Amino acid sequence: MITIKELQDAEAGQKIGGFKKTIKKTKKLWQVGKHWIHQVVLMDETGEMLADVKVGGYNPLIRNTEIIIVTAETRDADVGRILYVDEFRFEPVNEPPGIPNFTGDDRVVRSKIKCWLVAATLQSGETVDKPRILKLVDFIME
């Protein structure tokens, strides 16, 4: 597995892939033509590195998420060496039996829906009933 230290020491223009990193921080998100780029800070046990990640559409990445970098290139920038990630995928999540295997995007949507439902329940003065909230999430996601 390639470490952040090895990426920082690599020559600019080196094409690499097939390794996993954790998103420590998310920064700006901007559109370039038909593509969106999300700037993040990747981390591992050897350090941190700035990365520009090409995402499909307006799909912001989430901190503390592990991604598998399929194709990337090291580049020189004003802030030092950065990683330009052209293609990535999310780390597969082992869901408990009986729960559908959602993609990373579906998990984000489900999480946001749960948050909104809990907030609405608390604002109305009701007690949060977790099974009821989960049924409502499933209903909304259909």
Fold of 4-90: OB fold (Dihydrolipoamide Acetyltransferase, E2P) (2.40.50)
* pLDDT greater than 60 at residue 95: no
Alpha-carbon gap, residue 23 to 13, rounded angstroms = 22
Alpha-carbon gap, residue 45 to 108, rounded angstroms = 26
Say which amino acid occupies 67.
Answer: I
Residue with tokens 């909230």: 133
Q: How many CB atoms lie within 10 A of CB 134?
A: 13
Q: 101: which DSSP letter?
A: -
Q: pLDDT for 1-51, tens place per residue?
A: 799 999 999 999 999 999 999 999 999 999 998 889 999 999 999 999 999
* pLDDT greater than 90 at residue 103: no
Distances (CA, A) of 18 to 3, 35, 76, 89: 12, 22, 21, 10
Distances (CA, A) of 20 to 9, 43, 66, 110: 18, 10, 7, 24
Percentage of the chain modeled with pLDDT above 90: 48
pLDDT band at 70 (very low <50, low <70, confident <90, very high): very high
**Domain residue spans in the chain?**
4-90, 104-141
Q: How many CB atoms lie within 10 A of CB 100?
A: 8
- Are 70 and 90 spatial neighbours (Cβ–Cβ below 8 Å)? no
Residue with tokens 């046990």: 45
- The model carries a pTM of 0.64
pLDDT band at 122 (very low <50, low <70, confident <90, very high): confident
* pLDDT greater than 80 at residue 92: no
